[in-house]
Structure 1
Amino acid sequence: MKIAFLYEHPTWSEKLIDCFHNNDINLQLINIDELTFDTDSFDIDFDLLINRVNVMPYERRDSAIVFHTLHFLNWLELSGVRIINGARTHYIGSSKAVQNGIFSMLNLDTPRAIAIYKNKDALKAAEKIGFPVIIKPNIGGSGSNIARFNSSVELKLAIDQKLINLGVDGSGLVQKYIYSDGYVYRVEILGDELFYSIKQKIVENKFNYCATEGCNIDTRNTEQEEEFDFCVFESSHQIQLHDVPQEILQQVIKIIKKTRADFGGIEYIINRETGKPCYFDFNPYSNFVSHGETFLGFSP
């Protein structure tokens, strides 16, 4: 079997690629940033593709990569190629609206949300949901362009001043703000088993709980690859190990199966009012800090 490895940033998958090579497994490396493909040629020289392209857009990344990746993955699957974290999984990872729908379909708690594509519709949606709300891009990550609004006055002012940014495709969610126990929890699943589970302290008015130091690094500037200034956590924001309760673990596994992901992470908070987990994010791009061996005892 011939295996291809789809990636983007040159250093984010180094350890995984080295692991394959150290086990005498040859990979055909494909950098999505440099990819073009002949749509009427189906002479594909690999049988399996491992998809390691991040779904999130970020500053200085060409936003077209999000959509180019989706086109390529769908084209490969139609051509009969098996993909680890394939087109459906990747698409769900890039759509907060679809994620919320999946949580609801599984009868899990998730913040009430209304999908919009016009900024002017945000006020009506927020009034229907009830303040406070957050507004976030449908395709997003690392807390980019997420804003909280406590009243209609605040929100109307932001709309009038054109301060709302719905991201690369101009669509987003108006979502009920949930008061939590003070932590964001992340459970990573590999196959149908627990990979690891962590938690991070919530910092007021911050929405970036990316678990890896380099999550916002410019993919086109390798000189920055060791400068993790974009995701530096203060001491109150440090990642901690967390023993996920068995009931929550089973719920997370159900979500992963629904997305058809081969691996991925689910984020949730504990609703202060109900004491129950409230699910809000699925990420098919499993990531972690570079010193995972020290932190977890193994390299994720």
Structure 2
Amino acid sequence: MTAVYVLHDNPDWIPAFARAFEAEGVPLREWRLGEGVLDLDAEPPQGVFWSRLSASSHTRGAERAKDAARATLSWLESWGRRVVNGSAVASFEVSKAAQHAALRRAGFDVPRTVAVFGREGLSEAARGFDLPFITKHNQGGKGLGVRRFDDYAAFDAYVESTEFEEPADGITLLQEFLPSAEPFVTRAEFIGGRFAYAVRVDTSAGGFELCPAEACAVPEAGVEPEPLFRVRPEVTADDPLIRGYEELLAQLGIEIAGIEFLTTSTGRTVTYDINTNTNYSPDVEAAIDDPATRRVARFLGGLLAPAPAAV
């Protein structure tokens, strides 16, 4: 029997999908990136292969996941296997510079951004930004390297200190700080290249690590936290911005993703992130009739070739 193989680097993110796939009757198999042996001359198993490479894999002891994903996905594609979010998308996932370039080329409003290779040149490049500005890692995820600076001297001291966060690929991004009109950003989810729903992500606490997965939630002892993620039902598939995102994803060959944007205090609608390793908030999933995890299972299950008829 063929199956859907999920290529991943974080087992903590799999249980929600495993439950959804079981409920939909779709066989799911795990494939850990960066482990074991890959026989490049052997034929892969039959099935559909879904890449969930995470840009932050190196922070969880999976330093080899990025290169393993590139090698494995290229091997699968060479055998003609159906791959969802394949080798080109894996390279896109680990480069915010590539995401920025694709968004800008497609005509979306993006934050002014400069990529600096290594530490040298960071202080000089920062002078090209008004205060405040932010930093982030090019190979990001979970808020890696994201800091706000309100003073050039403080930034200079940070760059020269032992507190400086070295990016995995040596590329630090400097970016204009965009105050939002209201304390939230929006994450639009897409499955099979089509809009699923939009989520309001509360940013009133001022943090930058906005992972929606259940495994990311760390509530205070004895405190029932307010949901950080809520559905935005007013954002629909007919919204021109959403239609534009669907067109972009089709051009890039991205089939499952979350795209984040915000409305600034000056009225700009700015798109700043494409996450091809999307997770779903359990609060949101529980509040809707057709959870995204179940939609993913149905989409990938529908790609499985039917079993051959008995002779």
Shorter-chain TM-score: what band? 0.7 to 0.9
Q: What does residue 269 of structure 2 align with?
A: 277
Q: What does residue 60 of structure 1 align with?
A: 60
Match of 1:244 among 235, 246, 258: 235
1:45–1:236 CA distance, 2 compared to 1 (3 A): closer
Query: Is residue 34–residue 69 contact of structure 2 (8 Å, CA) maintained in 1?
Result: no
CA distance in 2, matches of 1:27, 1:262: 18
Q: Report the RMSD for the aligned CA atoms in angstroms.
A: 2.7
Residue-by-residue CA offset, 1:194-232 (whole Å, 9 max, x unaligned): 2111112213541111112314xxxxxxxxxxxx42899
Query: Is residue 43–residue 79 contact of structure 2 (8 Å, CA) maintained in 1?
Result: no
Secondary structure of the corresponding residue to residue 6 of structure 1? strand
Letter in 1 for 2:211: C
- Residue 37 of structure 1 deviates from its aligned partner by 0.6
Query: Is residue 248–residue 277 contact of structure 1 (8 Å, CA) maintained in 2?
Result: no
1:298 aligns with 2:287: no
Q: Which runs of 5+ in 1 are unaligned?
A: 216-227
Higher mean C-alpha displacement, 139-148 vs 290-299: 290-299
Q: What does residue 46 of structure 2 align with?
A: 46
CA distance in 2, matches of 1:167, 1:174: 13
Q: Percent identity?
A: 21
Q: What does residue 127 of structure 1 align with?
A: 127
Q: What does residue 113 of structure 2 align with?
A: 113
Higher mean C-alpha displacement, 20-29 vs 138-147: 20-29
Secondary structure of the corresponding residue to residue 243 of structure 2? helix
- Residue 235 of structure 1 deviates from its aligned partner by 5.3
Secondary structure of the corresponding residue to residue 214 of structure 1? helix
Q: Which runs of 5+ in 2 are unaligned?
A: 293-311
CA distance in 1, matches of 2:227, 2:58: 21
Secondary structure of the corresponding residue to residue 136 of structure 2? strand
Superposed structure 1 runs of 4+ greater than 6 Å apart: 230-234
1:210–1:20 CA distance, 2 compared to 1 (3 A): closer
1:237–1:143 CA distance, 2 compared to 1 (3 A): farther
TM-score by length of 2: 0.82
- Residue 129 of structure 1 deviates from its aligned partner by 3.3
Higher mean C-alpha displacement, 87-96 vs 73-82: 73-82
CA distance in 1, matches of 2:283, 2:230: 13
TM-score by length of 1: 0.84
1:287 aligns with 2:279: yes
CA distance in 2, matches of 1:145, 1:163: 11
1:20–1:213 CA distance, 2 compared to 1 (3 A): closer
